[in-house]
Structures are given as structure tokens and as C-alpha cells.
Amino acid sequence: MDNGNITIHSVKTLSSGYNIPALGFGVYQNRGPTVVSACTAALEAGYRHIDSAQLYGNESEVAEAIANSGLNRDEVFVTTKILSKNWRSVTDRMLESLGRFSAHDTETFKFGVPDLLLIHDPRIDPTDRLSMWKDFLKLRDSGFVKSVGVSNFAVRHLEQIFDAGLDLPTVNQVELHPFCQRRGIVEWCTNRGMVIEAYCPLVRGRHWDNPILVSLAQKYDKDIGQILVRWSLQKGYIPLPKSSQAHRVKSNADVYNFMITDEDMEALDALDQGDNGAIAGWNPPINVP
């Protein structure tokens, strides 16, 4: 995919062979009826990729929004995640998710299985983590999910899978924005055919007074959120902007009628603060081997 000529219909091909839309919609910290309304707004705005998790407590609402959208199930890519602390009960946890996703099935709509399942974090013993990854591969091979990947994994966590000779994750989802660019992780993953998903692409509204962001928003006649999403897309990542407000959901996807120049991309790249720029508590932990 040419990262300069992307559209809202653009996809990336995972190493599993499945396509994943290049723009996703995040639903972290969104529960209850607002999840349905936010996802509905996202689908109406053209998003075809929703990123959920067991931790978020909103898998059923995500499925409800898709069921009510009039779209075919195979038109919407859905991700969920299992926390590493549940490594002993991966199959049971997967069955729980399937039950929640199927809660709104009808004669004409069947959710089926998630498109992508991620280990949400690496915060367990290396031996247990490798066992969990093997169980994920079994779920994939048994048809419980189409593709499997990880989230918040550092290079050392990925190397353990690689050194074990196992199939690598199709995706690594990490916090990623101009102020925290995870260059080592990005390089390792992209060199091995793994797709990078970027959560917190809007930096949760922080740094929006940064002079570079302000000047670029003025230059391109876009808001700062749109500049940040566009930066992520042009870097080749899959950004996962989130909002419960319909107008923000729509504006975050209105990023396909302009392109940031190479010079301006370099200015945004120069904002990187490394790990000091991280704002989420899910960063690859330095104390987890």
C-alpha cells in the first residue's frame, strides 16, 4: 500500500493472509449504550475496523452495533484481546468472548469469530507467555479466530517467540504517536512482516498546544487530531483513534483529502521523546523479562 495514497478503504495484508483495514476505531474506556452509538457513528463514517478487548467490557455492544448497521459481518474487522494473567484459561476466555459477540445474533446476522485476537500484555513469566502464545496458535488453527497477535510487546518478548521457532504474531499493537515512536519495536516488527497498530494516536489530547502541531493544523486547514491520524497512516501504521462523540469520530476519519509533505513528516518525527513520551500505563514494561 502506498502510504501517500491511502483511502478509507485501504487495507493491509496480514501474514495470515487476511486483510485488515488501515484505519481502526478504538473503544477503550467506553461502555454501555455509548459504545453502540459510537460504533454506529464510526461505521456510518466509513470505519470498517473496531478494536475491542475483554478488559474493556464492551464486546457485546460492539457486536450489537455491527448487527444493527446493515453491513455484512465480513465487512467489519473486529479485534479482541485476552490479558496475560489469564494464560492458564485461554480457551475458556475465548469461549466467553464468543458468547458475548454472539449475543445479538439473529436469523440474518451471525457474528461468527473475531478477526484478530491479541495477547493484551506481556506481564507474565517468559515460559508462561510462550505457553499462552502456543495456545493462541491452537485457537487459530482450530478456527476460533482468524488471526492472532500481541499488544504492548517489546523486542525481547517478540524475540522469545522467534527463537522458539513459532509463527510470529501478525500484529503488535503499541502506544505510538509523534511523541513516543517506539522505533526499535517498529523496525523489528516491520522487518519481519508484522503490522504495527498504534493506540493513543491522538496522545489523549496532550501536546495539542505544541507549536509544530498547531502550525501544521493551520497549514493544512485540519484539526490536530487529523494531523496525528494522518501522520500515523503515512508512517504505515494502523491508528486506532477513539471517541464517544459522533462529530469527533467522523472528523478523525476525515484525513484522506490531504497529504503531509516529507519535510513536515520529518518535523513531526523530530518530536519523539522515546519512552519519556509515553502517556499510557501499558508500555512494554522494563521489569518484565
Q: Which residues are catalytic?
A: 56
**How far, rounded to the nearest angstrom, does the alpha carbon of residue 121 sit from its chain's CA centroid?**
13
Handedness of CA 167, 170, 175, 177 (dihedral sign): positive
114, 146 contact by CB (below 8 A): yes
Could you give the angle at which helices 155-163 and 183-191 cross, rounded to 10 degrees? Answer: 30
Half-sphere exposure of 252 (CA within 13 A, CB side): 30
Burial of 137 (0-12, 13-18, 19+ CB in 10 A): middle
- Angstrom distances, CA of residue 203 to CA of 142, 183, 196, 211: 38, 17, 17, 15
List beta partners, residue 195.
171
197, 174 contact by CB (below 8 A): yes
* DSSP-based three-state secondary structure for 266: helix
